[in-house]
Structure 1
Amino acid sequence: MNEKIYTKEELKGLSEDEILALLAESWGVQDGKIEIWAELPPLGESAYGFILEPHSVLTGERLYYPLKGLDRGNCKIFVSPKDAVRLGDKRKRCYVRCEVELSPESERIKHDNPFELTLKKGSGENLLYLPKEIPHEILINPSLNAERSQFISKAIYDFYHEKAMGDINKEVKQKQSEIETQISARETEFQQLNEKGLAELELTKEQRDKVKNLLDELNAQKVKLELVNEKLSQDKQLRLNEIKSLTRRFDQIEAEMNNKIQRLKSYVADKAHFLKTFEFVDEDDIDLFLNQSKPFIERVDGLSFNEDLNGDFQKAVSYIHAHLVDMEYMYPRHVVENYLTLLRTKDLIILAGDSGSGKTNLVKSFAKAVGGKSIIIPVKPNWTSSEDLLGYYNPLEKKYLATPFLEALIEAQQNPEIPYFICLDEMNLARVEYYFADFLSLLETRDDEPEISLYAESESAHVLSELKAVVDVIQSTKDKYSEHGVVNFIELLKDEQLNSQLRLAFGFSDKDSLIKYHSEIRRMLSAVMTMPSSIKMPANVHIIGAINIDETTHYLSPKILDRAHIIRFESPLLSDWNEILEEVVDYGFDDVSKPLIFDIQSLGYRANYPKFDPKDPFCELFISLNKEFFHKLGIEFGMRTIRQGLNYLNLLKDVNDDDEIAVNNFLLHKVLPKFTFDGNKQIGAQTKLELVERVFVERLKQLLPNHETYSDIFSSVHTLENVVSDAKANDGIVNFWS
């Protein structure tokens, strides 16, 4: 090794390649690829790590930064969060082999070390083989005694294991060669035997008769199959003829319908012109009624999910995550994965967390990230029925009084290509089961778009019958008002004969104002035309709730919890921003400024939940958990919840194929929010709280062996342990929401 020590002055002005070349020369590296092995200390709760005391893979010698004035023992090498999780352990030290590269210039300047290194991403692996030479300090250092036996024995095991596998592979190849030779010989014998034919075989008469009978049977079956095939061909032709006939009939009906529609449009256009002329309706109302109004929102420009990302949901999550970080919304990747998956279920999503934890920000920022629109509806504490959510029909004014929520649904209906995210903010300020339960029941319709009834159609029929009577009277004098150029209702009333006819038709006296009556009809007609008696739930709408849990709010009832998915949030200040930035850099996108545009179906559609299959591993797991724990604890857990879980599991695989993560998330969404009961009640020889603490927590740890790598707020094990701890401090009362 070159023992030359450099000063910082000597390194000034050198390029990164030149600095790296000096380090490689100092460490005896010839090909420029610097490979080391070293110790990775326990990570603890840190998301990243530093490997210490590096050694050369080639010589086993201890390596030091060749920089004057630097403590020779301070040769730390940075390990990124992703590699730290993959290579390290929270409680014990590990040994790794890896390739290293220069740290970013900003880090080298920050730590005043031009040679500072970082582990090259993805290059590290846990040490499996003994180096050519074991450094003396590893064998004599007392602090390493605990690891030494494990370290060496594993290496020896791997050495002999590899040698044994080589011997086995050699023996297997030899056996394979022998078997292939035998098979080849048998194939040759069979071919020669087949060429001789049955006639040359020495068979008895009885054997020949059996062979003949067998051939006759095969021929008979062949004839039957030919007949079946012929019949199938005939049936196919019949079906094709039927299809052609139906197609012709459909074309005829379509032509007739188009003709009728055209006549209807002409009739409506004529009546619409009449109504507009006499100021009963505005042109905007007519356009809206005929569904000819232009969308309120133009589709924004952006990347196409299907064309630019080939419909890959994992890439979509990466792009959306990078886009959100670019807009300075610092959510971990798994939150984006989870939220996108839940949106695709088309179930109700409820975001729970303290004020300022980023709940409504997620709704708004995600909507922008996919070229959609978010509408935040504040819930009032005095909401007590579905009328507060959807509005109601006022019989005195003969019009429907809509709410912002209903107006949002109607706006979404008029913009079917734009995804809408309607968020009920502080959803639990009022009792959700009072104002939202009826609407939530409608959302359970999975095989069709649920229809929301607003008011009786008889109300609109009454308004239209009054309008028809007015129109008939006016049209009876059509020639007269056309001849004199009457173009509005005020001019029309100057005709004394028509004025008298209208008063007579409606029993008005001279004191009654026809102008006031005209205004009433105009208002009622506008209400009927702009607000239909029912509305179908638009396919482009996603409903999200945001809740805080404090003394001013209400808990969610079992009916709501059974139909919704709960996502808990923590303050963004508690997130590991460095880890988030590391994730985004790894995605490798050059430009993430534009939104990612999905077609509406890709963001979720209302399909029936998967069928319940008792043999499915997910179903088996939660059937057993229900028997062992949920039922005993008095927690409602039914087949629909499991089917919701199957749907979530299938969709999550598009972005993350880790089944353990899926089970963890499902427990947090659908199971743990129902943990509200008196833990002091006995179940056999133990209390409910003891069953949870001693048995259920341990079962979850076995079920989720990687739970310690999850963030605390998103770990079902950690959450349940907190619930138990809070219950002990609260006289045994178990409450997930406390």
Structure 2
Amino acid sequence: MEFVEQSGFTFSVDIIRDFYLNLTSLDDKHFVILNGISGTGKTQLCRVFANAVYGLDYNEDHPYLKIIPVRPDWTDGTSIFGYYSSFEKQYMKTEFLDMLLQANSERDKPHFVVLDEMNLARVEYYLSDYLSGVESRKPIQLHNVDEVTDVPKTIEIPHNFYLIGTINTDETTHSISDKVLDRSFVMTLSDVNFEPFWETLDAKLKEKIESEWQFLLQLHKVLSEYELHFGYRTMNEILHKLYKNSLLPEDVRMNKWVGLDRGISEKILPKLRGDERIDSLLTQLNSIFLEQFGEDAGSLKHIVRMRKELDRYGATQFWS
């Protein structure tokens, strides 16, 4: 917890303790899935935790941590275990396999692999061999080519190998199958506590954009009631844009409320979507934006259009 607090991120004791227990409670299986809205620090949690295990600062390179972005074209086990190329006459290794080989050679060291946005592809397709290997405790077949000397024909999933997946749930992702869920702990990181986050910001920034910050907190509270709130990344990027605007020469600087209106339209509203259940939310946002920004505000125009679409089609989204 001391290392977590020094990292500048805001993860509670409850989250760290649960993450630790989920990763370590089973001797032969270490697989955790982190679910939650974008920007709540799922990947950062993995980095902070792994670095804390080794006593490293958050920004230090970690030889026993690998964060691997999942690609939508991962369709089978070769995406993570690699394959033998008869054309190249060599085994085509992957970052995942490299870390697995390292974990087997250094069994006294915990090794962490993060599959970032793991449900951009179907998890049960590319991870099935790994899950079977963990469950059966039998070696996984990699190849049967005698000429390959740098990669063994089979490989075990050692006890010092910790797998973490991060997922976002939207229309671009795949659902997670029961086979995968049954073999993992699923944690949801959707709670956002902005007060500690605010304390980490530069004093000059806070002084310049205090009123805009208070408005964003109000907006976040309204959106949270519908599970449509935003995370730390979105808040951080809006605040830094507003601060940067405040430093521009007066003749080109945006009015701070115009800047905030733009920030909301660019970073918060694009993720807004739903059916009749968000009708009252759109009504609230209409009143809030009209009162704060006036009838010419870009954010208000988006909400007005979305309300019309909801009345006509029964569903709406930011993208027209």
TM-score normalised by length of structure 2: 0.55
State the alpha-carbon separation in 2 of the partners of residues 529 and 389 from structure 1. 19
Deviation at 1:369, TM superposition (A): 0.4
Which residue of structure 2 aligns with residue 559 of structure 1? 179
Q: State whether structure 2 residue 72 is matched by structure 1 residue 389.
A: no
The amino acid that maps onto 2:35 is: A
The one-character-per-residue Cα deviations of 1:411-451 (angstroms, maximum 9, x if unpaired) are 22233222111010010001111111222122113xxx441
State the alpha-carbon separation in 2 of the partners of residues 556 and 577 from structure 1. 33
1:541 to 155, 161, 176: 161
Q: State whether structure 2 residue 165 is matched by structure 1 residue 531.
A: no
For the Cα contact (< 8 Å) 2:22–2:30, is it kept in 1? yes
The amino acid that maps onto 2:42 is: K
Q: Percent identity?
A: 37
Deviation at 1:529, TM superposition (A): 2.1
Q: State whether structure 2 residue 32 is matched by structure 1 residue 349.
A: yes
For the Cα contact (< 8 Å) 1:356–1:571, is it kept in 2? no
Q: State whether structure 2 residue 107 is matched by structure 1 residue 419.
A: no
State the alpha-carbon separation in 1 of the partners of residues 162 and 126 from structure 2. 18
For the Cα contact (< 8 Å) 1:332–1:575, is it kept in 2? no
**How does 1:362-401 map onto structure 2 within 5 Å?**
362-371=45-54, 373-401=64-92
Which residue of structure 2 aligns with residue 327 of structure 1? 7
Q: Secondary structure at the match of 2:22?
A: helix
What value does the CA root-mean-square deviation take over the aligned residues? 2.6
1:455 to 139, 143, 150: 143
Deviation at 1:568, TM superposition (A): 0.6
Which residue of structure 2 aligns with residue 175 of structure 1? none
State the alpha-carbon separation in 1 of the partners of residues 6 and 106 from structure 2. 28
- Structure 1, unpaired ranges of 5+: 1-320, 464-527, 582-725, 731-738
State the alpha-carbon separation in 1 of the partners of residues 135 and 36 from structure 2. 26
State the alpha-carbon separation in 1 of the partners of residues 19 and 119 from structure 2. 21
For the Cα contact (< 8 Å) 2:79–2:94, is it kept in 1? yes
Deviation at 1:556, TM superposition (A): 0.8
The one-character-per-residue Cα deviations of 1:618-675 (angstroms, maximum 9, x if unpaired) are xxxxxxxxxxxxxxxxxxxxxxxxxxxxxxxxxxxxxxxxxxxxxxxxxxxxxxxxxx
Which residue of structure 2 aligns with residue 478 of structure 1? none
State the alpha-carbon separation in 2 of the partners of residues 335 and 728 from structure 1. 33
For the Cα contact (< 8 Å) 1:417–1:540, is it kept in 2? yes
Which residue of structure 2 aligns with residue 358 of structure 1? 41
Deviation at 1:576, TM superposition (A): 5.5
Q: Relative to 1, partners in 2 of residues 1:336 and 1:727: Cα closer, same or farther, differing over 3 Å?
A: farther
Deviation at 1:728, TM superposition (A): 8.9
Q: Secondary structure at the match of 1:423?
A: strand
For the Cα contact (< 8 Å) 1:358–1:571, is it kept in 2? no
Larger Rg, first or second structure (1 or 2): 1
For the Cα contact (< 8 Å) 1:375–1:423, is it kept in 2? yes
State the alpha-carbon separation in 1 of the partners of residues 69 and 22 from structure 2. 22
Q: Relative to 1, partners in 2 of residues 1:331 and 1:412: Cα closer, same or farther, differing over 3 Å?
A: same
Deviation at 1:727, TM superposition (A): 10
State the alpha-carbon separation in 1 of the partners of residues 86 and 166 from structure 2. 34
Q: Secondary structure at the match of 1:325?
A: helix
Q: Relative to 1, partners in 2 of residues 1:451 and 1:728: Cα closer, same or farther, differing over 3 Å?
A: farther
The one-character-per-residue Cα deviations of 1:370-426 (angstroms, maximum 9, x if unpaired) are 117321011101111111121111234332111111111112223322211101001
The amino acid that maps onto 2:46 is: V
Q: State whether structure 2 residue 47 is matched by structure 1 residue 428.
A: no
Q: Secondary structure at the match of 1:563?
A: coil
The amino acid that maps onto 1:323 is: F
Q: Secondary structure at the match of 2:47?
A: helix
State the alpha-carbon separation in 2 of the partners of residues 452 and 575 from structure 1. 45
State the alpha-carbon separation in 2 of the partners of residues 576 and 538 from structure 1. 41
The one-character-per-residue Cα deviations of 1:181-237 (angstroms, maximum 9, x if unpaired) are xxxxxxxxxxxxxxxxxxxxxxxxxxxxxxxxxxxxxxxxxxxxxxxxxxxxxxxxx
State the alpha-carbon separation in 2 of the partners of residues 339 and 362 from structure 1. 9
Which structure has more relative contact order (CA 8 Å, sep 6+)? It is 2
Q: Secondary structure at the match of 1:544?
A: strand
For the Cα contact (< 8 Å) 2:82–2:93, is it kept in 1? yes
